Amino acid sequence: MTRIALVEDNADNRLLVRAICEDLYELDEYETGAAALSGIEANPPALVLLDISLPAMDGTEVLRRLRERESLRALPVIALTAHAMAGDREKYLGLGFDAYVTKPIVDETVLLGEIERLLRERS
């Protein structure tokens, strides 16, 4: 089963994403950016779901540090964010995220569709 990582500090969002993904993917869960960076580097997944509003080190900083590592530069990363303001999609894609999915996840097929699309592109 393809393994993906979820970086999310909200327990309820982790539970929901796990419920959405668990039949299709193996999920590594991280609550902080720091834990995610070391875990992902030690055991790289096929894709990362990365929350933007993380305490201490936010998602954009986690992405920047992932991209600094040669081996992780091409890792597909989806921004998961509740910052649904006009222009956000362009902003996050411009920062180097491969896709952008807004929370709350009202349609799980959007998230699954983006995961599948990016995994297919990289395969």
The residue with tokens 């990289």 is 122
List 24, 35, 82, 110, residue binding other proteins (CB under 8 A): 82
Strand, helix or coil for residue 15: helix
What is the smallest separation between the CB atom of 25 and other proteins, expressed in angstroms?
14
CA 80 to each of CA 1, 70, 98, 106: distance values in angstroms, whole numbers, following the listed order: 22, 23, 11, 13
| Bridge partners, residue 80, by sequence | 51, 101
Region of 4-12, 32-40, 60-68, 92-100 interacting with other proteins (CB under 8 A): 4-12
H or E segment to which residue 48 belongs: strand 47-51
Q: Token pair of 114, please?
A: 């983006």
Task: Fill in the amino acid letter for 2.
Answer: T
Q: Which residue lies nearer to other proteins by CB, 54 or 63?
A: 54
- 108 near other proteins, rule: CB under 8 A: yes
- 32 near other proteins, rule: CB under 8 A: no
- 95 near other proteins, rule: CB under 8 A: no
Q: Which residue lies nearer to other proteins by CB, 74 or 106?
A: 106
- 87 near other proteins, rule: CB under 8 A: no
List 50, 59, 100, 103, residue binding other proteins (CB under 8 A): 103
Distance CA 26, CA 38 (A): 18
